[in-house]
A and B are shown apart, each in its own frame.
Chain A
Amino acid sequence: MKKHDTPMLDELENGPWPSFISGIKRLRDKHPEERINEMTNDLLGQLEHSYETRKGYWKGGTVSVYGYGGGIIPRFSEVGDAFPKSKEFHTLRVQPPAGNFYTTDILRKMADSWEKYGSGLVTFHGQTGNIMFIGSTSDATQHFFDEINEYGFDLGGAGPCVRTAMSCVGAGRCEMSNINEHKAHRLLVNNFIDDMHRPALPYKFKFKVSGCANDCMNSIERADMSIIGTWRDDIKIDQAEFKAYVDLKGRKYVIDNIVTRCPTNAISLNDDDSVTIDNQNCVKCMHCLNVVPKALHPGDDKGATVLMGGKRTLKIGDLMGTVIVPFMKLETQEDWDKLVEIAEESIDFWADNALEHERCGEMIERIGLVNFLEGIGIEVDPNMVGNPRESSYFRGDGWDGEAVKWYERADAADKGTA
C-alpha cells in the first residue's frame, strides 16, 4: 500500500490537544486488518485533497438496511477514482442509551463489531445525539447493523423523520433534576419509532429533554419539542448552608452575584445573612441554585414545561421553542400518557399541515400559534406569551365567547375539575 502524502494534515498532529488525524493514521499504520489500512489511507488522501483545494468531495445517495428507510448517511466520493478504497464511506447513526451512559464492556463490544465491518472511526456523539459510526461500505452496513442490533442498539433518524433524541445526565447524577429525563426521552422517541425508521414527515422533528432550566441539552434552541424540568412550589433553602456561603464569600459578593442577578428581583439577603425568596415571582431560572448548590434546591412539586418549535436557521431564520404547556406533572402513567399524546397530536397536525421541508416552528410562524393550539387541542394560556398583542389590527368578533371560556376554565380549575 502506498501511503498518500498528507503535509497539510500532518500540521494537525502538532500541539497538545488529541489529534483526530493521528487517530486515523493509527488505523492506517497499525491496524491488523488490511482493509482498514487501505480505507483510512484513501480517506486521508481525500481529506488532504480537500485541505489543498478547500472543497468537500462527498455526495449523498440512498443506503439503508432491510426494513428501514433511514438511519444511514450515505456518502459516495466524487473523487473515488483517486481514492477507491474509501469511495463508499457511509455513516451509521445509532441511538445512544438515554443519558449517554456506557460500560466499558459495551464500548468494547461496539469497537469489535465496528472494526469487523467499518473503518474503525466513531464519534460519541454527533450533534443530533447519535453515536456516529463513520465509514462503512454499502455492503457492510447491513452486517454491522445486524450485529449491534442483536445486543440492543438501533439506528437513529436521518432525513424527514423523527430524529434521535437527547437527554441530560439528569436524575442519574444531578441534584437539579426535576423529572425522569431518561424516561421522557425513551418514551417519546420509542413511541415514534416507525416515524424514525421510515422517513415520511415534512422534515425533521427532534425531541430533547433537560431536567432543569439550565437546559444542558439546548432544547429550546434546538428541539422541535423541548421538555424541561421545573417545579411550582417553593425553592428549598438550607439557611445554615446559605449563611456559610455568605461567610465564605462576603455580603457584597452575594449581593452582586446572587441578589442583583435574579431576573425578577425575587431574592433578598437578610441582615442575619439568611435569604428570603419571593417564590410567587421566582421564574425558576436556576441562577441562584447554580451559585449555591448546597443551600438552594428545587421544590417538591416537580414537573415539566413543554416548548415547541425550536430550530436553527434554515429556512426562515432561527426560532426558539415557545411554551405550549407551562407545567405538567410527570409522575403517574396518566401524566406520561398525556405527554405522549401532546407529541402525537403535534406531529400529526404538523404532518398534515406543514409545507415540504418546513419545520414545526416554521409552520407555527406561518399559521400563528393559536391555529396550532386549536389543531392540537390545547387552550391558550398567558404563560405562552412574553406580552400580549401589540398590533391593533385584529378581528375580535369572537371576544365574548372566548372571555366566557376563560372564566369557565378558571372556575373549573378552582373546583379541581380541570
Chain B
Amino acid sequence: MAEAKEKKQQRAPIETGAPDGFQYMHPTMRKNFGQWKWHDHPKPGVLRHASNSGDEIWTVRAGTQRILDVFTLRTLCDIGDKFADGFVRFTIRSNIEYMVNDASKVDPLIEALESEGFIVGGTKNSVAMISHTQGWLHCDIPGTDASGVVKAMMDELIDEFKNNDMPNRVHMTTSCCQINCGGQGDIAINIQHTKPPKINHDLVSNVCERPSVVARCPVAAIRPAMVNGKASLEVDEKKCICCGACFPPCPPMQINDPEHSKLAIWVGGNHSNARSKPTFQKLVAAGIPNNPPRWPEATAIVKRILSKYKEDAKDWERINDWIERIGWPRFFELTELPFTKYHIDNWRGGRKTLNSSTYIRF
C-alpha cells in the first residue's frame, strides 16, 4: 500500500534544460536581435543601445542585496510593472536590469528604484557590485561570510558604485575559502588559512574515503595512519600549505580556525582580452583579521588600494594595466602595504613570475 502510494507520487522530470531566453526578452530586443549598432552611457546606471532599425533600448541597472527574500523580489517586479515594461534581466554580478524602449521612462524608474532602497549604478567606470559566494549562510566549508563582507564593503563603496569616476571599471570578488568561487577580480578578498587542519580521528574512518582524501592534497602531505587504534589520516604539517582541499571530502579535517583563518587581498585579475591577455590576480596583503560583523580592517585596505588606483591610474587602465605600468615596488610604496617573502611565488611554474631582467624603476 505504502509502495503504491510512493509510486503514484513519482513524477518523471521533464528534462528541458536551459530555457530559451527569447520568450522573456523585451519585444524591442527581440525585434532587433543581432541588429544593435552602438551604445552610449547617458549617465551612471543607464545604458542606451541603438539598433540599425532606429529603435533604442534603455537599460537601468541597480544593485540589490543578492540574497533576495520574496518580498524584495516582488517589490522589484512591482517596479518593473509600474515603471518599466515588465522585462528584466540579471547581470553576472547579480545586479537587476530593467529595459525600456522610451527615454521618458528612465527617470521615473530610477526614482522608483531609489525610493525602495535599491542602488542605481554599477555601469562603466564604477566599482561594480562585488561578486561573491554564500558563506556561513549556506556553504559547507566557509571560512568567513562573503555575504556579510560584501554588505559591509558596499556600504562604504556605494559612491563609487553610483558614480563613474574610476579610471576603468573595477570588478571585485570575495570568497569564503581558497577555492575562490567568487572568481578572479581586479580586487579579490579571500579567506587564507594559516594552520594545518585539526583532525578528529574518531570520525575519519566513518566519514571519509581515505584514498580520495590522500589524492586530493596538492602537496602530498596526507597519508593514511592508525591513530588510537583507529584507521585515520595524518598530515605532514611541514609540507601542508593549509589550502583546505582535504576539508570538503573529509569534514573531520577541520581547516576553519576562528582565530587563525585570516583574509587575504589579491589584485589585478582581469577576464577581458582588451589591451592585454587575461590575467590572474596577485597576492598583495594577507594576515587580515576575519572580523565579523563588518570586517573593517579588510575594507580599509581595499579603500586604500582603490584610492591610489583612482589617483594614479590613467584612463582605461584596469588595476592590472596600472600596476604593469608603474611596477610592483611602486604599488607597494603607494599603498603602504608590506612586501614579504610570502609574495614570492614558489608554486609550480612560479619561477616565470620572477624578474629575469634589469628592468628596475629607480
Interface residues of A, Cβ cutoff 8 Å to B: 8-9, 11-12, 14-24, 26-27, 30-31, 43, 47, 50-51, 53-60, 65-68, 73, 75, 89, 91, 95-108, 110-111, 114-115, 120-127, 129, 132, 134, 142, 145-146, 149-150, 152-155, 164-166, 168-169, 171-175, 177, 180, 182, 185-186, 189-190, 193-194, 196-197, 213-222, 253, 256-257, 261, 263, 283-287, 290-291, 293-294, 297, 312-318, 320, 355-357
Contacts and interface: CB of A to CB of B under 8 A. Distances in A.
Given A18-B64, A218-B183, A314-B179, A169 B258 contact: no
Which one of B13, B94, B117 has the greatest number of beta carbons of chain A within 10 Å?
B13
Contacts of B72: 18, 23, 26
Given A98-B20, A102-B24, A18 B183 contact: no
A14 B183 contact: no
A140 to B, nearest CB: 13
B183 A127 contact: yes
B157 to A, nearest CB: 9
Contacts of A286: 272-274
Interface stretch (B137-145, B222-230, B302-310, B332-340): B137-145
B69 interface: yes
Given A172-B33, A216-B271, A313-B178, 4 more contacts: A59-B140, A99-B89, A102-B89, A313-B243
A20 B24 CA distance: 27
Contacts of A12: 148, 151-152, 293-294
Nearest to B137: A47
Contacts of A54: 144, 256, 258-259, 261, 290, 292
Contacts of A285: 273-276
A173 B251 contact: no
A9 to B, nearest CB: 7
A17 B81 contact: no
Contacts of A24: 67, 69
Given A15-B155, A172-B29, A193-B17, A217 B92 contact: yes
28 contacts: A15-B152, A15-B155, A23-B68, A27-B69, A54-B256, A54-B258, A55-B136, A75-B140, A98-B21, A100-B90, A104-B77, A105-B86, A108-B77, A120-B70, A121-B69, A122-B68, A122-B73, A171-B36, A172-B21, A172-B29, A175-B39, A213-B274, A221-B271, A256-B314, A284-B273, A313-B179, A320-B280, A357-B212
Contacts of B179: 312-314
A101 B140 contact: no
B17 A95 contact: yes
B23 to A, nearest CB: 8
Contacts of B73: 107, 110-111, 122
B265 interface: no
B42 interface: no
A89 B134 CA distance: 13
A174 B97 CA distance: 14
Nearest to A188: B18
A215 B272 contact: yes
Nearest to B173: A127
B1 interface: no
Nearest to B182: A127
Interface of B: 9-25, 29-30, 33-34, 36-40, 49, 57, 59, 63-74, 76-77, 80-81, 86-92, 94, 96, 99, 117-119, 131, 133-145, 147-148, 151-152, 154-156, 158, 178-184, 212, 215-216, 218, 243, 245, 251, 256, 258-259, 261, 269, 271-276, 278, 280, 290, 292-294, 314-316, 347-349
B89 to A, nearest CB: 5
Nearest to A10: B293
Contacts of A50: 136, 145
Nearest to A284: B273
Nearest to A169: B89
Given A114-B70, A317-B349, A17 B158 contact: yes
Ranked nearest first, the 10 interchain pairs of A and B with the lowest CB-CB distance are A15-B155, A190-B17, A50-B136, A54-B258, A23-B69, A97-B21, A213-B273, A18-B65, A104-B77, A17-B154
B183 A221 contact: yes
Contact of A100 (B86, B89, B278, B293): B89
Given A8-B293, A15-B152, A293-B39, A185 B86 contact: no
A16 B278 contact: no
A261 B322 CA distance: 12
B34 A171 contact: yes
Given A54-B258, A171-B34, A108 B74 contact: yes
A182 B21 contact: yes
Contacts of B88: 101-104, 107
A31 B92 CA distance: 29
A26 B178 CA distance: 33
A278 B225 CA distance: 64
A317 B350 CA distance: 11
A54 B291 CA distance: 8
Nearest to B184: A221
Contacts of B180: 312-313
A156 B147 CA distance: 22
Which one of B183, B216, B293 has the greatest number of beta carbons of chain A within 10 Å?
B293
B80 A104 contact: yes
